[in-house]
Chains A and B, each alone.
Chain A
Amino acid sequence: MKRAAIPWIAIALIIAGLPLVTSSNYLVGTMCFVAIYGTLAVGMGILLELAGIFSLAHPTFFGLGAYSGAVIAVKHVAPPWAGTIIGTVLVTAVSYLIGAPLLRLKGFYLACATFGLLVIVEISLGQFGSLTGGHEGLVGIPPLSIAGYVFESDVQFYYLSWAFCLGQLWFLSNVMNGRVGRAIRSFHDSETASRSMGVNISRYKLQIFMLTSAIAAIAGSIYCFYLRFTQPGIFGFPLLVDLMTMLIIGGGKTIWGPLLGSFVITWLRELIHGYLGNILPRMTGEVDAVFFGFLIIIILIFMPGGLTGWIFKLESWLRERFFKSAHASGQPTGGI
């Protein structure tokens, strides 16, 4: 138990210390996006890779969370922090209404239905101009403040987004390694056997779907109060592709793999834009699409488990090489 906590504490310390050793707003700000996209990718990884729920609507719940929090704040219905809470409750309710019928679908049928949802919501957000600001986006979002403490700077949002990201990672990792998570992973492997062990599959599918949607909605609120701006296009197909890339490159069979994917993708994109911005100023978008396309192909061929799969292979190789035992792992019960 104590040993398992060491990596968590180490990562938390590194994250907490970063703003102390750098004064670069660019670095801290980019790390904010790593946390927010990482939060989303982790939830999507659980749905797709561990629960076997092929839902593509994750960016939609992120977007609905961002818009509901922002609209409530802009229209002065409630202060931003209350807007976040109300928005999250609303989005969770929506995810129930959507999940209850749609989660009966399987595999590609579910993917089609949820992809439809993604497109419909993106277009609708653009059309309800009086409420959402239309395709141009919603401006004038007031700053997030909690009990007089105002979140404005990059560093403040850095701590907020990483606290939330690591908090949900810890929570989901507990869930997925506990009774409910084992049940969820069991129906990914065999629905028939899972049912015969007494697992109420539709109930747990709905629960994990609503939970990850609620988390995505909170991430959406943090995102829009950080940018103080939202636009329907942010929550559409490009974000879905980004999240899928993070899953593939990070590896979705562990809880934290997608977060690693978010780190790698976000920084690679920054690097590409940084270098190519000077050489090919008008083509950076196209170039990074082509680059990530190739990267996905290479990862799928040479390391199908993503970076985390590769790390585990390396670990077990080192163990066999130096300790002559493949199963004397620090985590004797398996787990993820």
Chain B
Amino acid sequence: MTNPPILEVNLLTRHFGGIRALNDVSLTLEQGSITSMIGPNGAGKTTFVNVVTGVHPPNNGSAKFAGHDTTGMAPHQIAALGIGRTFQLEELFVGMSALENAMVGCHTKSRCGIFATGFRLPFARDEERKIRDEAVDNLSLVGLAGKASYPVTKLPLGERKLVGIARALGMKPRLLLLDEPAGGLAAHEVERLTTLIYALVERDITIFIIEHNMPFVMSLSERVIVLNEGYKIADGAPADIRGNEQVIKAYLGEEDSH
């Protein structure tokens, strides 16, 4: 470990009724790293992201982000600390344009309340201009500057995923959790995404990816974590994961079982 940790989770557990979606998962993310989490469907990957971001509070265990204990904090408080995320099913704000989506992302980095904006006070107008510039910058970074005014419902899947990333960038996140960013993308779109992720790391954003696209994961990640049935079964460099017997069992089943 060369870099200090940005996220430390310890024995994180989450149940849904009788289903143990996440069991005693502990892991540490280094600042500035690219880490991926893989696992069969239903392994608890999205649950892990939801617990870290506060959508589902953990039943047990603790999480620490950049020195703050985030266990049991509300999602908007965790977001304000600088954990950004995207969603497997985009979850974009469908009534808005791409630009407005990106502008909502700047919410935690702006302050104006209902009366300042309602009366168009000078500082509210300044702040609005800053939010807009920031959102335009973020859309340009993901390569969608030309589509800012499009309603998000009119964009193809790959671009909707990029709007999701631009939106999360408005929070100036220190850690960005990407839930299946490459899911459903064509090969050239995946390449574009890879370049973008490297650009984000350059900006000092720690990247955590949930993904099924193995070539993408293996080429991009410095470290891969494998979940199966809520348990962490492997954690290491991509090369080690490829040969890990438990991982192969989790994906393909045991050789002698019928």
- CB contacts (< 8 Å) of B38 on chain A: these are none
- CB contacts (< 8 Å) of B76 on chain A: these are 195, 198-201
Establish whether residues B95 and A179, one from each chain, have CB atoms under 8 Å apart when the complex forms: no
Establish whether residues B93 and A189, one from each chain, have CB atoms under 8 Å apart when the complex forms: yes
Establish whether residues A174 and B131, one from each chain, have CB atoms under 8 Å apart when the complex forms: no
Residue A127 is within 8 A (CB to CB) of chain B in the complex: no
Establish whether residues B93 and A190, one from each chain, have CB atoms under 8 Å apart when the complex forms: yes
Establish whether residues A171 and B119, one from each chain, have CB atoms under 8 Å apart when the complex forms: yes
Among B79, B99, B114, find the residue whose CB has the most chain A CB atoms closer than 10 A: B114
- CB contacts (< 8 Å) of B124 on chain A: these are 178-179
Q: Which positions 85-114 of chain B face chain A at CB distance < 8 Å?
A: 85, 87, 91-97, 99-100, 103-105, 107-108, 110, 112-114
In-complex Cβ contact of A174 among B80, B120, B150 (8 A): B120
Establish whether residues A197 and B112, one from each chain, have CB atoms under 8 Å apart when the complex forms: no
Q: Is the interface of B mostly helix, strand, loop or mixed?
A: mixed
- CB contacts (< 8 Å) of B94 on chain A: these are 189-190
Establish whether residues A175 and B117, one from each chain, have CB atoms under 8 Å apart when the complex forms: yes
- CB contacts (< 8 Å) of B74 on chain A: these are 195, 200
Establish whether residues B79 and A189, one from each chain, have CB atoms under 8 Å apart when the complex forms: no
Residue B232 is within 8 A (CB to CB) of chain A in the complex: no
In-complex Cβ contact of A193 among B91, B117, B128 (8 A): B91
Establish whether residues A334 and B117, one from each chain, have CB atoms under 8 Å apart when the complex forms: no
Chain B binder among A104-112, A153-161, A325-333: A325-333
Establish whether residues B100 and A182, one from each chain, have CB atoms under 8 Å apart when the complex forms: yes
Establish whether residues A179 and B97, one from each chain, have CB atoms under 8 Å apart when the complex forms: no
Among A172, A183, A197, A199, find the residue whose CB has the most chain B CB atoms closer than 10 A: A197
Among B87, B91, B151, find the residue whose CB has the most chain A CB atoms closer than 10 A: B91
Residue A196 is within 8 A (CB to CB) of chain B in the complex: yes
Establish whether residues A179 and B107, one from each chain, have CB atoms under 8 Å apart when the complex forms: yes
- CB contacts (< 8 Å) of B84 on chain A: these are 196
Residue B118 is within 8 A (CB to CB) of chain A in the complex: yes
In-complex Cβ contact of B114 among A211, A253, A333 (8 A): A211
Distance (Å) between the CB of B159 and the closest chain A CB? 14
Establish whether residues B117 and A181, one from each chain, have CB atoms under 8 Å apart when the complex forms: yes
Q: How would residues 147 to 174 of chain B score, 1 for a CB under 8 Å from any chain A CB and 0 otherwise?
A: 0111100000000000000011011000
Residue A180 is within 8 A (CB to CB) of chain B in the complex: yes
| Count of chain B residues with a beta carbon within 8 Å of a chain A beta carbon | 46
What residue of chain B has the Cβ atom nearest to residue A204's Cβ? B114
- CB contacts (< 8 Å) of B148 on chain A: these are 332-333
Q: How would residues 104 to 148 of chain B score, 1 for a CB under 8 Å from any chain A CB and 0 otherwise?
A: 110110101110011110001001100110000000000000001
Supposing A171-B118, A180-B117 touch, asked if A194 and B151 sit within 8 A by C-beta, the answer is: no
Q: How far is the CA of A332 from the CA of B59 in the complex (A)?
A: 46
What residue of chain B has the Cβ atom nearest to residue A184's Cβ? B114
What residue of chain B has the Cβ atom nearest to residue A189's Cβ? B93
| Count of chain A residues with a beta carbon within 8 Å of a chain B beta carbon | 35
Q: How far is the CA of A208 from the CA of B128 in the complex (A)?
A: 19
Establish whether residues A179 and B131, one from each chain, have CB atoms under 8 Å apart when the complex forms: yes
Residue B53 is within 8 A (CB to CB) of chain A in the complex: yes
- CB contacts (< 8 Å) of A135 on chain B: these are none
Q: How far is the CA of A190 from the CA of B152 in the complex (A)?
A: 14
- CB contacts (< 8 Å) of A207 on chain B: these are 114
Q: How far is the CA of A190 from the CA of B94 in the complex (A)?
A: 9
- CB contacts (< 8 Å) of A213 on chain B: these are none
- CB contacts (< 8 Å) of A183 on chain B: these are 104, 107
- CB contacts (< 8 Å) of B170 on chain A: these are 197
Q: Give 20 pairs: A residue, B residue, CB < 8 Å, sorted on A.
A: A179-B112, A179-B117, A182-B103, A185-B93, A185-B96, A186-B96, A186-B104, A190-B91, A190-B94, A193-B92, A195-B76, A196-B55, A197-B107, A197-B170, A198-B108, A208-B114, A332-B148, A333-B97, A334-B149, A335-B100
Chain A residues within CB distance 8 Å of chain B: 171-172, 174-175, 178-183, 185-186, 188-190, 192-201, 207-208, 211, 253, 327, 329, 332-335
Instruction: Given A174-B120, A196-B87, output 4 extra A-B contacts at Cβ < 8 Å.
Output: A192-B91, A334-B97, A334-B100, A334-B149
Chain B residues within CB distance 8 Å of chain A: 53-55, 74-76, 79-80, 84-85, 87, 91-97, 99-100, 103-105, 107-108, 110, 112-114, 117-120, 124, 127-128, 131-132, 148-151, 167-168, 170-171
